[in-house]
Amino acid sequence: MSYQLTEKVRELEPYEPISGSYDIRLDANESFFNLPDEVREEIKQLMDTVDFNRYPDPTARRLTQAFADYYGLNTEHITVTNGSDEMLYLLASALLNKQSRVVVTDPDFSMYGFYSFLSENQVFTYKKNEQMQIEVDGLLAFAKEKAADMIIFSNPCNPTGCGITAEEARRLVRGAGDCLVVLDEAYMDFWEESLQGEAYTYDNLIVLKTASKAVGAASLRLGFAAANPTITKALRSIKSPYNVNTLSQEIGTCLYRHGDLLRQRREEIIGQTKRLYEEIRKLIDNYQLPMTIYEPCANFVFLQTEQAERIYRFMLENSVAVRWFRQAGALRITTGNEEENSQFLVLLEKYIMKNILKTNR
């Protein structure tokens, strides 16, 4: 007998975001800001100090301090990983057991279910309501019925951009009892309903953040988990020791020390998202289109329409990449800068004139 892959992985395909190169990338929720020249210069200087022959600091001490200072946290409550993705995998595979019972929501970030599948957790899916909202009492009842060990969801949500308030999130965490709640706040920099600062006061809460979105450092792969000291000790113990490379630690430290720059960019991204949302809504209203758009709490908008696939392909033909969600019948459009958004909007209107209005007549 020759070697056979397990059934679990035999049919899997490697993750491929969008293949091909496009002029305007509005598909991955990245920041439209690249690093300014002054910061690049600082980074070049930093490179001269790196001991390339040595393993990285397993505790990422300086980076943890810079992150904690930026958000007003205590370093004792923070664990750093190679992107939030590493932590998501660790939660499913190491913090939980095989067969542990995980509640995810739908629509939400698909990686939760994926890592639980690989880790052989049991996954139960709670459906959000028509407004794309989590109803806390409903979710609590669902988790109880399923005897869940962990509830995990993004707040604000990727892909809908909708979220629950901090007060609702608190009610969820308190109501969950002995069930762990993981709040993925990857986009919370764009909203103000975070539980990160109080995560350590609960015995069943982990709050995740990333440098990949508002901070504009998706290339570095930096994720952060905030939790009480007991959970933090466990998270630090299950991660691989040298999970975050020295270059990312150094550059990340430098970035989080540029608090003013990060805050200023965050405001600009919020402003651009708002404009993108309002302009799309105007088109929907003006042309009376059968489309639903949700008010965004993140750096992207979510647009439900039966034409999602056709609009997606039309955009690609015009070298604009957005994200298409087949199952939800929706598009997720990350905000670009003003110019990029304008180009998207012009194309969208063109599509509407050519296809939707004509067929309606």
Ligand X SMILES: *Cc1c(COP(=O)(O)O)cnc(C)c1O
Q: Which of 32, 63, 64, 83 binds ligand X (CB under 6 A)?
A: 83
User: What is the nearest approach in angstroms of ligand X to the Cβ of residue 223?
Assistant: 4
**Total number of residues that touch ligand X (CB under 6 A):** 14
Contact mark string toward ligand X, 20..39, x via CB under 6 A: ---------x----------
User: What is the nearest approach in angstroms of ligand X to the Cβ of residue 356?
Assistant: 30
Q: Which of 149, 168, 184, 189 binds ligand X (CB under 6 A)?
A: 184
Q: Which of residues 218-247 bind ligand X (CB under 6 A)?
A: 218, 223
For residue 65, report the phi and psi dihedrals to the nearest 5 degrees. Answer: -65, -45
Three-state SS string over 248-300 comes to HHHHHHHHHCCHHHHHHHHHHHHHHHHHHHHHHHHHHHHCCCCCEECCCCCCE
Cα–Cα dist 184/16, whole Å: 22
Return the residue matching tokens 């002995």: 178
DSSP string, 150-198: EEEEESS-TTT-----HHHHHHHHHHTTTSEEEEE-TTGGGSS---GGG
User: What is the nearest approach in angstroms of ligand X to the Cβ of residue 127?
Assistant: 18
**Cβ-contact 331, 324 below 8 angstroms:** yes
Residue 189 makes contact with ligand X by CB under 6 A: no
User: What is the nearest approach in angstroms of ligand X to the Cβ of residue 288?
Assistant: 32
HSE value, Cβ hemisphere, 13 Å, CA-based, for 236: 19
Amino acid making up residue 274: K
Residue 186 makes contact with ligand X by CB under 6 A: yes
Segment near ligand X (CB under 6 A), from 128-136, 162-170, 207-215, 239-247? 207-215
Residue 79 makes contact with ligand X by CB under 6 A: no
Residue 84 makes contact with ligand X by CB under 6 A: yes
Residue 212 makes contact with ligand X by CB under 6 A: yes
**Cβ-contact 330, 305 below 8 angstroms:** yes
User: What is the nearest approach in angstroms of ligand X to the Cβ of residue 4?
Assistant: 31
Residue 343 makes contact with ligand X by CB under 6 A: no
Residue 109 makes contact with ligand X by CB under 6 A: yes
DSSP string, 291-352: -EE---SSSEEEEE-TTHHHHHHHHHHTTEEEEEETTTTEEEEE---HHHHHHHHHHHHHHI
Our CB check for ligand X shows the closer of 85 and 349 to be 85
Residue 193 makes contact with ligand X by CB under 6 A: no
Q: Which of residues 274-313 bind ligand X (CB under 6 A)?
A: none
Q: Which of residues 139-178 bind ligand X (CB under 6 A)?
A: 154, 158
Segment near ligand X (CB under 6 A), from 2-10, 212-220, 245-253, 340-348? 212-220
Cα–Cα dist 161/154, whole Å: 9
Amino acid making up residue 15: Y
End-to-end CA distance of the chain: 64
Q: Which of 79, 119, 204, 210 binds ligand X (CB under 6 A)?
A: 210
Q: Which of 85, 135, 198, 268 binds ligand X (CB under 6 A)?
A: 85
**Cβ-contact 190, 299 below 8 angstroms:** yes
User: What is the nearest approach in angstroms of ligand X to the Cβ of residue 251?
Assistant: 14
Our CB check for ligand X shows the closer of 101 and 213 to be 213
**Which single residue brings its beta carbon nearest to ligand X?**
83
Segment near ligand X (CB under 6 A), from 81-89, 144-152, 169-177, 320-328? 81-89
At a CB cut-off of 8 Å and minimum separation 6, what does 302 contact?
Answer: 132, 159, 160, 161, 162, 293, 294, 296, 330, 331, 332
CA 4 centroid distance within chain:
35
Residue 185 makes contact with ligand X by CB under 6 A: no
Residues that bind ligand X (CB under 6 A): 29, 83-85, 109, 154, 158, 184, 186, 210, 212-213, 218, 223
